[in-house]
Structure 1
Amino acid sequence: MYNVELSSVLFLLGFSLIIVGVILIFLETLSAGRIGRGGVGGVILIGPIPIIFGSGTRVMRFLTVASLILFVAAILFYVFLNSLGPG
């Protein structure tokens, strides 16, 4: 019973964080008078290997660092789960 309650709480927490993030991004776009440099980019993860694309050097630099962090986290997570053993 405890696992069901914990999974429900974690699901609601994650969903709430996504909703709060969407609201914050929406409110940021409504703020008038701010003109900044924009950029577009993305990361496609195939397993732990990232494929990075972007429109500028600033975006590419950020995505490279973010994807390296994700890569290291995936490797550490894999090693940690394998050290626990079967079951």
Structure 2
Amino acid sequence: MSTITLGLLLIILGMLLVLISVLLPLLRRGEEQSGEEERRAEAGGVVLIGPVPIVFGTSQKMAQLTIILAILLTAMAIILFALLR
């Protein structure tokens, strides 16, 4: 598979993920109206400044999840850079 084909597939996959993320809340809106339940939103993120990660989150669970995701994304980036050399 050529690099151009792989890039186009990743772009299409990203567009599909954005479309799904927009449509899912709209589909769930009808479910929320039928029952009264309280929901709590959590968020987290990682900022990589060189090799130093800055992790933040609304709970320890979210901070741990973002650390794991940052490690996976960093490993994927290293593998892709090594393969494209």
Supply the distance in 1 between the matched residues of 2:31 and 2:25 (Cα, whole angstroms): 10
Supply the distance in 1 between the matched residues of 2:9 and 2:75 (Cα, whole angstroms): 28
Is the Cα contact below 8 Å between 1:49 and 1:71 reproduced in 2?
A: no
Report % sequence identity. 31
Match of 2:77 in 1: 74
Q: Are 1:54 and 2:57 matched, yes or no?
A: yes
User: How many correspondences in the alignment?
Assistant: 80
Structure 1 residue 14: Cα displacement:
3.4
CA distance 1:70–1:50, change in 2 (3 Å): farther
CA RMSD of superposed structures (Å): 3.2
Runs of 5+ unmatched residues, structure 2: none
- The alignment's TM-score, normalised by the length of structure 2, stands at 0.62
Supply the distance in 1 between the matched residues of 2:79 and 2:52 (Cα, whole angstroms): 14
- The alignment's TM-score, normalised by the length of structure 1, stands at 0.61
Q: For 1:63, give the aligned amino acid.
A: T
Give a deviation string over 1:22-80, Cα, whole Å, max 9, x none.
11134346532443443221123456764321121110111011110001001111111
CA distance 1:62–1:34, change in 2 (3 Å): farther
Runs of 5+ unmatched residues, structure 1: 83-87
Q: What does residue range 7-86 of structure 1 map to in structure 2 within 5 Å? A: 11-12=11-12, 14-28=14-28, 31-32=31-32, 33-46=36-49, 50-82=53-85
